[in-house]
Amino acid sequence: MEENIILQIKSKLKELSKAEKKIGEYILQNSVETVNYNTSELAQKAGVSPATIVRFCRSIGLSGFSQLKIRLYADSSGVDGDLYTDITPNEDVALIAEKLALRFNQSISQTANHLDTASIEEISKLIDSCTIIYVYGLGASHVVAEDFTQKFSRIGKPVVNMLDHHLLSSSLINAGENCLFVAISNSGETNEVIKLTQIAKQKGFHTIGISQKENSTLAKLVDYPVIHHGGEAVMLRSAATTSLVSQLFTVDVLYFAYVNKNSKKILNMLKDSKINIQTLFRKE
């Protein structure tokens, strides 16, 4: 595990040149602001040349200024998350890619480490025994609902997924027995998701809730709360990113857990469907 970058700078401070030390001292006092600077801006703030910034990064064991910003972002975001947006003006594309990769990896690792595997096992049994699965998500969570639908439909499970919550509520009210309702909401407080879940419970459905918040209304309402981690830790976001990745990863875990329990039947099904589709849509 990498050392905290602030501690790393402090430990190297006495070994640095006078100009490099000025940069180190400035960063220690302004670590949050430094994440949003480019090389020239930091050099001006610290009163040194841009070339000194490069030398400073190498002196403390980093490859360059981009890695310094990534390390500062990673070590500070958990403490002062509200100070960040997910984008900053004039940010390098390479830094954007590195920052997103870091956040995605952290989100998936956190989710994998905290998923309730016993609950996943129980859900696999429910999916196997139910006659119809209803799934709903709004906004970015609808993308996850679509992914759930695509995965389970192609292995023979009837899945109903509608974006129109009025139409879906009618379908739920008139559904038969032994159905499963999967509700997806990062916050666990989306009004449409809560109302549909309440209808499903009134009808006697088994209910699953995929959410980041274990104390949310959704998590408390459903039979099986599936809690993922790594939601957006910023006050102003331009798009759902880590929450979406965490939810998609969670659906993948549910899918592969189910496939693992029924591997022979499902693999034969996938093989047959692939052959038939290729035959049907082959070029003449």
Task: Classify strands 224-227 and 179-184 as parallel, antiparallel or unpaired.
Answer: unpaired
- Amino acid identity, position 87: I
Residue 255: half-sphere exposure toward Cβ, Cα within 13 Å: 19
For 112-279, CATH gives 3.40.50.10490
Provide the pLDDT for residue 73.
76
Among candidates 229, 249, 228, 239, which has minimal Cα distance to 148? 249
What pLDDT does 236 receive?
43
Report which DSSP code applies to 177: S
Confidence at residue 82, expressed as pLDDT on a 0 to 100 scale: 39
Asked whether the beta carbons of 189 and 215 are under 8 A apart, the reply is no
pLDDT of residue 86: 57
- The pLDDT, as a whole number, for residue 237 is 53
| pTM across the whole model | 0.68
Strand order in the sheet with 224-227: 159-161, 132-137, 179-184, 206-211, 224-227
Nearest CA among 219, 202, 197 for reference residue 138? 197
Opening angle at CA 179, ends 174 and 182, nearest 5: 105
Q: What is the per-residue pLDDT for 231? A: 56
What CATH number does the domain located at 5-84 have? 1.10.10.10
pLDDT in tens, the chain (284 residues): 456 788 889 888 889 999 999 999 999 998 888 888 888 889 999 999 999 999 999 999 888 888 888 888 777 654 444 334 556 667 678 777 877 777 788 788 888 888 999 999 999 999 999 999 999 999 999 999 999 999 999 888 999 999 999 999 999 999 998 999 999 999 899 999 999 999 999 999 999 999 998 899 999 999 999 999 865 554 445 556 788 999 999 999 999 999 888 777 788 778 877 777 778 887 65
The whole-angstrom separation of Cα 191 and Cα 208 is 16
Farthest-apart Cα atoms in the chain, separation: 77
The whole-angstrom separation of Cα 50 and Cα 30 is 18
Fold match, 5-84 / 112-279 = no
Q: pLDDT at position 72, please? A: 84
Quote the tokens at residue 64.
Answer: 């360059």
Residue ranges per structural domain of the chain: 5-84, 112-279
